């Protein structure tokens, strides 16, 4: 009878525990989705900025940004997981398995001092570079987020290892640990954002380099439009019974955004001007896949 009561009590408490975790699960999913959307937006903005298109002109589905953000975040997660596995293996090899003798403790203490010194040196360098960049109004160097993330993680590891050895903690150590976690996360996020932007720029440059190999589109319009560029030709149609009176060739389709077509000359190169033509769908007919 006692066993039956215990099973009933456990069955009653399980749904309560699940519902108690539901808000946290929803919050984690929302934060993760927002992060993916943001990284996808950074990548997309870099791509179309390279093509002389403002991302605000695009009417892309939010799922597109989330998917592109996932493509950006996946390699970062794999690399971060590899670093954590290697760091954990080194910690077990040189710290956990170190004999608890005077000589072993001295070796661990010297290693922690070296790690802490490197961490403080990195944070000092990061702060100095940030102040210099802000005072001059320039762009931060590419290495700054890497040094920030690595230095913060090194200091956090040294503090946690020292606290585990001495069994000392306290409120001040907790505040410092939280600050180091924030700095490490900020540096990691900056690294991922830089990777997303680099990936977007590379995609835009690849399109410019291969624009002449892309299938062209033929645009038929009722009125003559201000469309001109390398390889673009316009012909006045003589068929009076046709709905369209002008035909443009030598164009490539950048993207279809809502009710607009974004077109560019097929003769684009990385060093040439990059005109973009926005043509509403109701002002013309687009024939895709022609050469």
Nearest to 155 by CA among 99, 216, 94, 114: 114
Burial 252-278, CB ≥16 within 10 A → b, else e: bbbbeeeebbbbbbbebeeeeebbbbe
CA 279/CA 257 separation, integer angstroms: 10
Tell me the DSSP string of 225-249. -----TT-EEEE---TTSS--EEEE
Q: Which residue has the tokens 């033509």?
A: 277
DSSP letter assigned to residue 99: -
**Per-domain residue ranges for the chain?**
2-208, 211-290
Can you name the residues that pair with 262 across neighbouring β-strands? 255, 278
φ, ψ of residue 253 in degrees (nearest 5): -90, 120
Tokens in use for 89?
A: 């293996």
At residue 113, the 3 state secondary structure works out as: helix
Whole-prediction pTM: 0.81
At residue 63, the 3 state secondary structure works out as: helix
User: How many other CB atoms sit within 10 Å of the CB of residue 120?
Assistant: 14
Instruction: Give every CB contact of residue 187 below 8 A, 6+ residues apart in sequence.
Output: 145, 146, 147, 148, 149, 150, 152
Q: How far is CA 90 from the centre of its chain?
A: 29
Cβ atoms of residues 146 and 198 within 8 Å:
no
CA 235/CA 146 separation, integer angstroms: 55
**Full pLDDT tens readout for the chain, 291 residues:** 444 444 445 444 445 566 677 788 888 889 999 999 999 999 999 999 999 999 888 888 899 999 999 999 999 999 999 998 998 898 888 777 777 777 778 888 888 899 999 999 999 999 999 999 888 888 888 899 999 999 999 999 988 887 665 555 555 667 888 899 999 999 999 999 999 999 999 999 999 988 888 888 899 998 888 888 888 999 998 877 778 889 999 999 988 888 888 999 988 888 888 899 998 888 888 887 654
């Amino acid at each position: 009878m006692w066993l039956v009561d215990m099973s009933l009590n456990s069955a009653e408490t399980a749904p309560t525990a699940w519902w108690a975790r539901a808000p946290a699960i929803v919050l984690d999913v929302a934060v993760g989705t927002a992060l993916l959307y943001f990284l996808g937006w950074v990548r997309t903005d870099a791509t179309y900025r390279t093509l002389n298109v403002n991302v605000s002109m695009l009417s892309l589905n939010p799922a597109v940004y989330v998917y592109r953000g996932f493509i950006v975040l996946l390699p970062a997660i794999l690399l971060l997981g590899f670093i954590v596995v290697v760091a954990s293996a080194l910690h077990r090899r040189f710290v956990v398995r170190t004999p608890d003798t005077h000589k072993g403790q001295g070796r661990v203490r010297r290693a922690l001092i070296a790690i802490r010194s490197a961490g403080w040196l990195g944070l000092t360098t990061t702060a100095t570079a940030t102040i210099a960049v802000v005072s001059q109004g320039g762009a931060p160097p590419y290495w700054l987020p890497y040094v920030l993330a690595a230095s913060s993680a090194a200091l956090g590891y040294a503090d946690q290892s020292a606290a585990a050895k001495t069994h000392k903690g306290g409120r001040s150590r907790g505040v410092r640990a939280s600050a180091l976690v924030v700095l490490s996360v900020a540096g990691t996020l900056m690294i991922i954002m830089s990777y997303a932007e680099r990936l977007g720029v590379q995609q835009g440059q690849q399109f410019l380099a291969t624009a002449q190999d892309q299938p062209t589109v033929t645009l038929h319009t009722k009125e003559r439009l201000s469309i001109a560029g390398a390889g673009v030709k316009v012909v006045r149609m003589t068929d009076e019974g046709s709905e369209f009176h002008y035909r443009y060739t030598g164009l490539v389709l950048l993207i279809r955004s809502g009710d607009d077509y974004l077109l560019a000359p097929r003769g684009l190169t990385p060093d040439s001007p990059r005109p973009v033509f926005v043509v509403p769908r109701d002002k013309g007919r687009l024939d895709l896949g022609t050469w």
